[in-house]
A and B are shown apart, each in its own frame.
Chain A
Amino acid sequence: MLADLGRPLAGRLLALVPVLFGITLLVFVLNAVALGDPARAAMGQRADPEALERMRREYALDRPLPVQYVTWIGRVLRGDLGQSFREQRPVTEVIFERLPATVRLAVAATVISIVLGVAVGALAAVRPGGALDHVLMGAAVLGISTPVFWLGMMLSLVFAVNLGWLPVSGYGGGDLRYLVLPAFALGALHTGTVARMTRSSLLEVVRQDYMQTARAKGLSEPIVLAKHAFRNALIPIVTVIGIGLADLLVGAPLTETVFAWPGVGRLLVAAVGQRDLPVVMGAVMVFALVYVLGNLAVDLAYLVIDPRTRRGAS
């Protein structure tokens, strides 16, 4: 089976290159169009003209834009993302010291959304149209439509400030208690989507003829559901999980800001404000890479779940 996956995998990975290239070009052009000068932004309110000139020279901002871009790409190909204007340190250092925090948060939010989402969706599907179904799906819609920033603030107010069960914010040096609230805040939207998709997908499958066949063969209901219904219902659910990665990436900067979580999302927001282009480019590359690789994982999951897609791909 692994051999089957080899070729489609290589193809997908190759397709990544132009995508990443396009993203960097887009970010670079957007930054060039946006007003603002990183040297000026780094100087505070009072800028000495000579110090400004020196910084522009140091940052190579005095060179034409295409030259700046080509130089940057050249360095990236050698594995060097350049120096942060604001921190005067290598961008890789700046990003990699924050990446573990973002990965922890994203993984926790994804696990919450899958476990909680599938459970809620399955429960709701037991008796479609029943009271439980209405309550759970109502909650799912609420999860989808609540802004991350607001939800984060509410969670923190209730569970941290008023009840005192969990810390208000911060990383706590990796203490798991600090992870709970941000992970739920970030995972909420996605939990709702997964729950709704699980419910509708299960209901769809249950109506299929092969389910009747399975029951007619005398299989017990739990086995029918687990083996026949669930596996077939998985494909749309996995799709939603893949698409949901985008929501996580959008939500990460906000969640990290509300919970003072030291991740890449917050770094990106601050870097845009400072016109710290090397950091912006680096952080966007990381996000793009996560998104593209996440979708690649989803594609691979299809290949595993549904043998038909394997034939189609080769």
Chain B
Amino acid sequence: MIRIVAAVVMAALAAASIVFAQAPRQGGTLRAVFNSDPPTLDPAAASDTTSSAVIRQVFDGLLELDEKLTPVSALAERWTVSGDQRTYTFTLRRGVKFHNGRELKAADVKYSFERAAKGKRPWVFEKITGAREYIKGTGAEIPGIRVVDDVTVELRLDKPFAPFLHLMAYDAASVVPREEVERRGGNFASQPVGTGAFRFVSWRRDDQVALERFRDHFRGAPLLERVVFRIIPAEITRFNEYRAGQLDFTDIPTGHCQAAKTDPQLQGEVAIWPTLGTHGVRFNVEKAPFNDVRVRKAVAHAIDPSIIVDRLLEGCVLAARGILPPSLPGYAAGVKRLPLDRELAKRLLAEAGFAGGRGLPAIAYNFNTADANQRIAEVLQSQLKEIGLTVELRRLDWAAHIKLVDDGNVSFFRQGWIADYPDPENFLTVLFHSRNVGAAGNTSRYRNPRLDRLFDEADTLAPSAARYARYAEAEQTILDDAVWISLYHYTSRALIKPTVKGLERTALSSAPEFLSPLRKVWLEK
């Protein structure tokens, strides 16, 4: 019965939206904003979301992600996967033009991938046969990338890798025109040329990046005439520009979330949605006292994230139960963090020989400079005091923090993670596989052969309940072993003018950059 009512309501709503929906309007300038100057606009050299936000508009890849984060056709019209899950054959659309007017060929794909494999994100290509050798500099090409004819390119993998299509939708795998790269040399990074819906116009460093619509885009000209990304480092200035009507969307400044939600002028423009990230606290399991699982568990049982979520972050983030965020495909609701239980925590400490914290030196907690991180650290400090642990706060800027963390020189530290693509592999395998110990992601330096096996098996399985079950098992093991303590899942907190239509709010797009395709956006008069 409820289902029928729901169906009727849905149908009525759909009908209403057809009646009231305005036809998308052509033209206008979208005024977007970044919080820092992009280091580069070259897909091979980028490694940050600001650069990606421009790259995704100027370039296309073989595939892209739709609003449900499923890989769908972009430059590749269709693709087939061989029975052994190791060969991917992509058929390109015919007549796709670069911004310089030249037609796209399959050879461009091979050139672009080999070029990007030597860039900042080689991991995107390392699953392709021969890529590791090429990246190391011992091969002249990547033999696993084969140009079959002008519109067909075949990619062969060493082993099956389930999320491979996601990699092909990632902006590191954008296709670039060889002649422009060669002609421009180093300048390609500041004057990019792609096949994207918007072409590059200008970039005044630390001021603004301007794009205009590419009328010959293979999907037809986008609706917006121009896009201008202002570069404004201070969040309060972005907020003021938005209130002065000079930006079409921006992020909500730290600590203003509730204020914005209740502000009569702003509340209709507040948008909060979950993103694919988790704020965690990690241990280096090689360093005493955290090489003892009982001490790690004691800390996990002593931490109550609800104060951080509800008070510090104004309830504008999601409390975490596990490591994977709920919006990630493969999220398992049954996975649970160790519950708050201070008595148990004290018993575990005593069992480890540190009853009431006696015999333990002060524990250093390392975090990178940010208002919220400082306040979270203070909460952790006071909560751990309750079981007798003394915590010293060590605040460093990002560059220093990440260096210490990567090198294994800290024992208890903050580390968040945001997925590059929506698959548990990009969370759990990166962060906990023994082959990734160190800078590659496993900063806990955790080595568990059973987990490695689960991860390796999951790589070879097609997306299915069986594959996700392996991740759920691994995730629960990590939580039970108290290698990582999840505090909360990130959300994106944005202000969006009601005149902006078609701006996707997927779990991969977060303010202020919005990694969504701007070709779908239009401005109401």
Contacts and interface: CB of A to CB of B under 8 A. Distances in A.
A joins B in a complex: yes
B417 A171 contact: no
A88 B40 contact: yes
A48 B237 contact: no
A285 interface: no
Given A98-B205, A170-B207, A36 B120 contact: no
Interface stretch (B81-89, B217-225, B241-249, B286-294): B241-249
A273 B441 contact: no
Interface string B421-437: 00000000010000000
Interface stretch (B157-165, B380-388, B397-405, B479-487): B397-405
Contacts of A273: 397-399
Given A35-B396, A87-B40, A169 B439 contact: no
A86 B234 contact: no
B246 A168 contact: yes
Contact of A40 (B119, B233, B420, B439): B439
A5 interface: no
A94, A156, A267, most chain B CB atoms within 10 A: A156
A88, A164, A260, most chain B CB atoms within 10 A: A260
Given A48-B440, A86-B39, A98-B205, A164 B237 contact: no
Nearest to B431: A46
Nearest to A87: B39
Contact of A50 (B136, B232, B403, B420): B136
Given A35-B403, A171-B207, A46 B440 contact: yes
Contact of B439 (A36, A52, A164): A52
User: Is the interface on chain A under 10, 10 to 19, 20 to 34, or 35 or more residues?
Assistant: 35 or more
A153 B232 CA distance: 13
Interface in A161-178: 161, 164, 167-171, 173
B262 interface: no
B206 A35 contact: no
Contact of A260 (B123, B232, B438, B440): B232
B306 interface: no
Given A89-B186, A168-B240, A257 B399 contact: no
B123 A46 contact: yes
A258 B402 CA distance: 27
A94 B237 contact: no
B47 A170 contact: no
B120 A51 contact: yes
B116 to A, nearest CB: 11
Contacts of A168: 237, 240-241, 244, 246
A171 B231 CA distance: 11
B237 A156 contact: yes
A171 B204 contact: yes
A173 B244 CA distance: 19
A51 B122 contact: yes
Given A41-B402, A88-B40, A260 B233 contact: yes
Contact of B230 (A157, A173, A260): A260
Contacts of B399: 35-38, 40-41, 273-275
Interface in A158-202: 160-161, 164, 167-171, 173
A220 interface: no
A221 interface: no
A42 B120 contact: yes
Contacts of A173: 204
Given A35-B400, A35-B404, A51-B120, A46 B441 contact: yes
B406 interface: yes
A37 B119 CA distance: 18
A282 to B, nearest CB: 14
A160 B206 CA distance: 21
B244 A164 contact: yes
B430 A46 contact: yes
Interface of B: 36-37, 39-40, 45, 47-48, 118-123, 135-136, 186, 189-190, 204-208, 230-234, 236-237, 240-241, 243-244, 246, 396-400, 402-404, 406, 417-418, 420, 430, 438-441
Pairs A-B, 4 closest by C-beta atoms:
A36-B399, A35-B400, A44-B47, A262-B206
28 contacts: A37-B399, A40-B406, A41-B402, A42-B39, A44-B47, A45-B402, A45-B417, A46-B441, A50-B122, A50-B135, A51-B121, A88-B45, A97-B205, A98-B205, A156-B237, A156-B240, A168-B237, A169-B237, A170-B208, A170-B232, A171-B207, A258-B236, A259-B237, A260-B206, A260-B230, A262-B207, A263-B206, A267-B206
